[in-house]
Amino acid sequence: MSHGSLVVDLKGTIEYASSFFCALVRVEAKRAAGMSFFDFVFPEDVEPVKKRFQAGRSPEVLPFVLKLRRTDGTSVWTAIQGQPLQTESGEVYGISAIIALVLGPVEDHPGKAAHA
């Protein structure tokens, strides 16, 4: 499998992380819930990712490419597609995301410009 899922609340706290995501960032599944998604973002990327996170509350979210930081400090390129989670009344309470491993040159990936 080359993709997994992640559910975060509006502060970026991980509510659910698939086994694929946990293996990708090298964190134990039992530790992932409750961690901040931003723990897996390199410091120089935090602000752009926070902007993306805010945009993730909108129903039309484009996929983007992001270099995630593993717990051992190494990096891995991923493609992320988020979808807002809403109550029946339309209030957004979190974001569900599909995270895929990017294989091949990142420069050629269509979502990379959204990362910068």
Domain harbouring 58, CATH code: 3.30.450.20
What is the domain count for the chain?
1
Nearest 10 degrees: CA dihedral of 44, 26, 38, 115? 50
Q: What is the side-by-side strand order in the sheet with 3-9?
A: 14-17, 3-9, 92-101, 75-86, 64-69
Percent of the chain with pLDDT over 90: 55
Mean pLDDT, residues 43-56: 81
pLDDT in tens, 58-105: 655 668 889 999 999 999 999 998 888 999 998 989 999 999 998 866
- What's the rounded Cα separation, in Å, for the pair 18 and 16? 7
State which residues form the domain around 75: 3-115
